[in-house]
Structure 1
Amino acid sequence: MSAYGLTRARTVGTIARAVSEAGGSPARLFGRTGLPLTLLETPDRLILLRDQLALVEAAVREVGDPALPARLSMQAGIAGLGPIGAQVRSAGTLDVALRRVETVTPLLLQTATWTGVRQQGEEAFYGYHVTERIESGRQTNEILALGYLLGTARHFLGPAWRPERAMVTGASLPGRAEIEARLGCEVSFGPRAGLVFPARHLNAGNPDRLDPTDRDPAEAVPIGGDLAACVVHLIELGLDEARPSIDDIARRLGLSRRTLQRRLDEAGTGFADLRRGAMLRRAEASLSAESYAIGRIALELGYSDAAHFSRAFLEWTGATPSQWRRSLRAKTRSRHGA
C-alpha cells in the first residue's frame, strides 16, 4: 500500500458543477486546494487522497451545505465509481459485490482506504475507512463515501431501500438532520463510517448484471503503490500549470525537501530523473498532436523559448522535436500504408 493515499479524480467534475450551480466559484475552490482545473477534463488521473478530502471540505464551505457530499455521491451512483462500479454490476449477489469492492478498491480506485463488509450475527456492516493519518476533511469525505455505499446496495436492493442506520467518525455532525434525510436513516458515531443493515440482504441477487466481458480493459490498470509513483503523479499534475520543483512536491506530501530526497534515494531514484521522465512523456504527447507548435510546447513545459526546449529534448532522445515529429509522421504513414 502507498505511504500516501492516491485516488482517481472521478468526483472532481461533479463537485465543481455542484459548486457552480450553487453560485460558488470552481476556480476559487481549486485554487484553495492547489489543484489544476485541467482535472475536470481527465477524471481518471490520480491525485492525493488528502487533496480530495480538502476539495470536498472546501466545496462544503464554498456553498454552505454540509449535506452536499451525500447529495453528490447519491446522484452519481455506482457509475461514478468507474472500475469499482463495473465490479459491482458484474457480481451475482450483493455479498460477492462487496467482497470484490474490498479487494479491488485499493488497487484500482483509491489507496490508503478500506471498503468492505463485515457480518456480526444477523447484522451486516458495509464500511469505509481512511487508513492514512488525515484529519482535515475526513468526516466530510465519509459522508461522500456513504452515498456511494448506499448506491452500491441499492443496485441490488432497489432505489427505495434504506439501511437501519449509518455511521460516521467524530463526535458531532454539521447538517445532521439534512444528511439523515438524504440517506434515509439515522446517523450515529463510531470508529468507522458505514451502513448497518440485516445480513440476509447480502444474499440479494443482481437484477441488472453487467457482462464482465463488456468492461474496458483500462479499468483493470492498478494504481502505482510506492512513493516514486506518487511523486510522478504529482509532477504530471504540476506540469498542467508550471514546471514543479522538488519543494512544491515535498510541500504537497507534507515532507521536507531533504526527507523526500532521502526516501527517493532509498527507492533507487531521484526527483530530477522522475521529473525528466514526466516532462519527456508530456513533450512526446504534445508533439504527437499536429496542432501544437513547438514554441507552445516549450512554454508549457517551463522553457523560456523553443531553442532551450529543443536542446533538452535532443539530450533526452537523441533527436530534436522537429526530427522526432517527422519520424512519428513517417511511422504513421508506413502503418497506414501496410
Structure 2
Amino acid sequence: MPAYGLTRARTMGPIADAVSAAGGSVSRVFGRAGIPLTLLDTPDQLILLRDQLTLVEAAIREIGDPALPARLSTRTGIVGLGPIGIQVQSAETLGAALGRVEIVTPLLLQTATRTGVRCRGAEAFYGYGVAERIESGRQANEILALGYLLGTVRHFLGAVWRPKRAVVTGAWLPARSDIEALFGCEVALGPRAGLVFPAALLDTVNPLPLHPVHEGGMKDAPIGDRLADCVAHVIGLDLDEGRPSIGRVALRLGLSRRTLQRRLEEAGTCYADIHRRIILRRACERLAEPTPSIGRIAADIGYGDAAHFTRAFLGWTGVTPSQWRRHHVLRS
C-alpha cells in the first residue's frame, strides 16, 4: 500500500507572504489549490503533502517566479525548522545532525519523505525523496527541501558555504540560473534530489551547540501516516469549505472512490465511521464555545438545519446538542 504524506501547515505563511509581497492574490492562490485560508491561523495543523505541493505550484504561477521555492527555503534558517532545527543545533557533529534529521523528519515534520547521507569515496550525497507517488509539484518541492537541507549543513559550515552541486529530478529546470545563484552552486538533473559535498565535512564539530533540555526541547507530537489518519485530516480540512464527501476525499488522495473504500475496509474501518468521528469532534469543539447557536454550528459542519443536526447528535451521544452544552459547559 502506498504512503500518504502529511506535513505541517507552517510553510503556508511564508508562501502567502511571498505572494502578497509580489503583488499577487493570496486568496486566489489558496482557492486554486483548494485549501482554506484558515490554515494560515493554524500553523501546526496537519495537511496533505500533495496539498502543499499544489499550493507551491499555484504560488509560482500567480507571481511568475519558478525560483520561489529556493527563495523561501534559503531564507528560513535553522531556527525556522522548528523541532528539526533543535535536533540539528544540539548534535555534536554534522554527520550526527543529519542522522537525527533522517529519523525525526517523517515523525515530526513531514511523513512519506526520506532524507539520508550516502558516501561514495570522498563524496557525500545528502539526499531527499518523497515516497508518495506525486508528480505535480514534485520538483518544486525538492527545491524547497534542498534549501532546508542546505540551511542544516550551513549551521555547521557557515552561512557562505557552498556544496559542490545540488541535484533535482525532472527533464528540465525552470529558472536554473536564479536557483543556482540562491544555492551558490551548480544545479544538475538526476535520478534523486540531494546535495553533494566532501564526505570529510561530516566530522565537522557543531560551532554553536544548543542544549534543548534547558532551551525548550521538542514540542510537536508525532505525525501518523495511516490511510485512516489521512482521510480524517482531509475531512477536517474540507469541513471549512462545506460538508466533505467520500468522492472528494478520494480525489484529494489520488484514489478512486472504490479503491478508498476497499483500503479502509482492509484497515478495519470505513469512511462513514471516520466522517462521523470528525463531525462529532468538530461539533463538540463548537458546542464548548458559549456564543454560536445550535443552528450556526449545524450549518458550519454541513447540516441544512438545526433539527437534522440535533437528531444526528442525539444518535451519536444519547443527548441533544443543548443538553451536551449545558452538561459540559455551563457546569464547568
Instruction: Settle same-fold status: TM greater than 0.5.
Output: yes
Inter-CA distance 64–292: structure 2 relative to 1 (3 Å threshold):
same
How far off its partner does 1:67 sit?
Answer: 1.0
Aligned pairs for 1:1-338 (under 5 A) are 3-213=3-213, 214-215=215-216, 218-219=219-220, 221-329=221-329, 332=332
How far off its partner does 1:112 sit?
Answer: 1.7
Alpha carbons 2:290, 2:329 under 8 Å: kept? no
Gapped regions of structure 1 (runs ≥ 5)? 333-338
Q: Report Cα offsets for 1:166-222 as digits up to 9, x if no partner.
A: 111123211111111111111112111111112222122223333232445541x22
Alpha carbons 2:83, 2:218 under 8 Å: kept? no
CA distance in 1: counterparts of 2:323 and 2:110, whole angstroms: 40
SS of equivalent to 1:57: helix
Inter-CA distance 91–290: structure 2 relative to 1 (3 Å threshold):
farther
Alpha carbons 1:10, 1:80 under 8 Å: kept? no
Alpha carbons 1:2, 1:225 under 8 Å: kept? no
CA distance in 2: counterparts of 1:82 and 1:309, whole angstroms: 40
SS of equivalent to 1:244: coil
CA distance in 1: counterparts of 2:55 and 2:218, whole angstroms: 29
Gapped regions of structure 2 (runs ≥ 5)? none
Alpha carbons 1:2, 1:226 under 8 Å: kept? no
Alpha carbons 2:169, 2:190 under 8 Å: kept? yes
SS of equivalent to 2:11: helix
CA distance in 1: counterparts of 2:80 and 2:256, whole angstroms: 35
Equivalenced residues, count: 331
How far off its partner does 1:322 sit?
Answer: 2.2
Q: Report Cα offsets for 1:142-167 as digits up to 9, x if no partner.
A: 11111101111111111111111111
1:189 maps to amino acid: L
Q: TM-score with structure 2 length normalisation?
A: 0.94
Alpha carbons 2:86, 2:218 under 8 Å: kept? no
Q: Report Cα offsets for 1:221-277 as digits up to 9, x if no partner.
A: 221121111100110111111110111101111222111111111111111110010
Q: Report Cα offsets for 1:28-69 as digits up to 9, x if no partner.
A: 111112111111111222222222112112211111111110
Q: TM-score with structure 1 length normalisation?
A: 0.93
Inter-CA distance 23–198: structure 2 relative to 1 (3 Å threshold):
same
How far off its partner does 1:285 sit?
Answer: 1.3
SS of equivalent to 2:187: strand
Which deviates the most, 124-133 or 322-331?
A: 322-331
CA distance in 2: counterparts of 1:143 and 1:86, whole angstroms: 22
How far off its partner does 1:101 sit?
Answer: 0.9
2:33 maps to amino acid: T
Alpha carbons 2:250, 2:256 under 8 Å: kept? yes
How far off its partner does 1:113 sit?
Answer: 1.4
Q: Report Cα offsets for 1:308-331 as digits up to 9, x if no partner.
A: 222222221222222222222355
Q: CA RMSD in A?
A: 1.7
1:33 maps to amino acid: A
Counting aligned pairs with the same residue, the percent is 69
